[in-house]
């Protein structure tokens, strides 16, 4: 019996690694996609490759983009500092249109592969307030996917899966641990060094550390 195929956005961080493990546990043949988009934390790309190998995906693809060409984010513009204290509103680490672009390319690959499930590790509980992590965004993109594709028009509809949407970071850590994710392979830090060592101060580091602490699970993160 052939396994259903799924395309999964894999950044190399804690959340996306957990999503790959969840998709695999659901019986999907997993095809993972990462993006070299001009991010300052490029160590995450090496982490994504490690996670893909550890979890035994069918194929891991890295797509090159230059979102740094438009800038507008602390993650793509070296002149904008990564904040190390919580602020008000949407933080400067928000990358304009990132999830829209990433899901669009994943949708294209899914149509080529004959996959009808796309997984993304967005979260609307312990997250930084990015607008493209909200359930409304996921729902809207699913409608778009089925309007904009040959498969969707012909009735072979796509499903955007966001299994972490309503989980706390601690629940995500617990789930991944149960599914055998090696979080020591992952990189979440917005300003990790070339070795993948985390700063321990940015928003992503704080959320990650709090998740392990609340879950009562040893944090394997390597810090600078």
User: Would 220 be classed as within a structural domain?
Assistant: no
Span 161-177, mean pLDDT?
97
Question: 93: which 2 tokens?
Answer: 């680490």
Q: What is the pLDDT of residues 114-131, one digit of tens each?
A: 999 999 999 988 777 899
Is-contact 196 47, C-beta < 8 A? Answer: yes
Span 92-103, mean pLDDT?
96
Residue 194 phi/psi, 5° resolution?
A: -65, -20
CATH number at residue 30: 3.40.50.620
**What per-residue confidence (pLDDT) applies to 124?**
86
Model confidence at 86, pLDDT cuts 50, 70, 90, reads confident
User: Would 223 be classed as within a structural domain?
Assistant: no
Span 99-112, mean pLDDT?
98
Task: Give yes or no for residue 150 having a pLDDT over 90.
Answer: yes
Residue 192 phi/psi, 5° resolution?
A: -60, 150
Termini Cα distance of the chain? 47
Label each residue of the chain as H, E or C.
Answer: CCCCEEEEECCCCHHHHHHHHHHHHCCCEEEEEEEECCCCCCHHHHHHHHHHHHHCCCEEEEEECCHHHCCCCCCCCCCCCCCCCCCCCCCCCCCCCHHHHHHHHHHHHHHHHCCCEEECCCCCCCCCCCHHHCHHHHHHHHHHHHHHCHHHHCCCCCEEECCCCCCCHHHHHHHHHHCCCCHHHCCCCCCCCCCCCECCCCHHHHHHHHHHHHHCCCCCCCEC
Model confidence at 178, pLDDT cuts 50, 70, 90, reads very high
Residue 160 phi/psi, 5° resolution?
A: -95, 115
User: Would 221 be classed as within a structural domain?
Assistant: no
User: Would 61 be classed as within a structural domain?
Assistant: yes
Can you give the residue range of the structural domain that contains 24? 5-215
Task: Give yes or no for residue 195 having a pLDDT over 80.
Answer: yes
User: Would 20 be classed as within a structural domain?
Assistant: yes
pTM, whole model, 2 decimals? 0.96
**Number of structural domains the chain divides into:** 1
User: Would 76 be classed as within a structural domain?
Assistant: yes
The residues pairing with 118 across neighbouring beta strands, listed in sequence order, are 7, 160
Task: Give yes or no for residue 152 having a pLDDT over 70.
Answer: yes
Task: Give yes or no for residue 7 having a pLDDT over 70.
Answer: yes
Model confidence at 1, pLDDT cuts 50, 70, 90, reads low
Model confidence at 88, pLDDT cuts 50, 70, 90, reads confident
Q: What average pLDDT does the chain have?
A: 95
């Amino acid at each position: 019996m052939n396994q259903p195929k799924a395309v999964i956005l894999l950044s190399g961080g804690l959340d996306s690694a957990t999503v790959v493990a969840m998709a695999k546990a659901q019986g999907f043949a997993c095809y993972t996609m990462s993006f070299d988009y001009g991010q300052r934390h490029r160590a995450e790309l090496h982490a994504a490759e490690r996670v893909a190998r550890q979890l035994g995906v069918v194929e891991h693809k890295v797509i090159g983009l230059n979102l740094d060409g438009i800038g507008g984010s602390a993650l793509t513009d070296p002149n904008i500092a990564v904040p190390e204290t919580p602020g008000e509103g949407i933080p400067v680490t928000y990358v304009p249109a990132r999830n829209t672009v990433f899901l669009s390319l994943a949708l294209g690959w899914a149509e080529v592969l004959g996959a009808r499930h796309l997984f993304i590790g967005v979260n609307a509980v312990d997250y930084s307030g990015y607008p493209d992590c909200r359930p409304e965004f996921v729902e809207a993109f699913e409608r778009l996917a089925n309007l904009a594709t040959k498969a969707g028009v012909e009735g072979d509809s796509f499903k955007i899966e966001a299994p972490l949407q309503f989980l706390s970071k601690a629940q995500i850590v617990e789930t991944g641990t149960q599914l055998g994710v090696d979080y020591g392979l992952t990189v979440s830090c917005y300003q990790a060094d070339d070795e993948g060592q985390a700063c321990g101060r940015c928003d992503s580091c704080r959320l990650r550390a709090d998740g392990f602490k609340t879950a009562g699970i040893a944090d394997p993160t390597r810090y600078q």
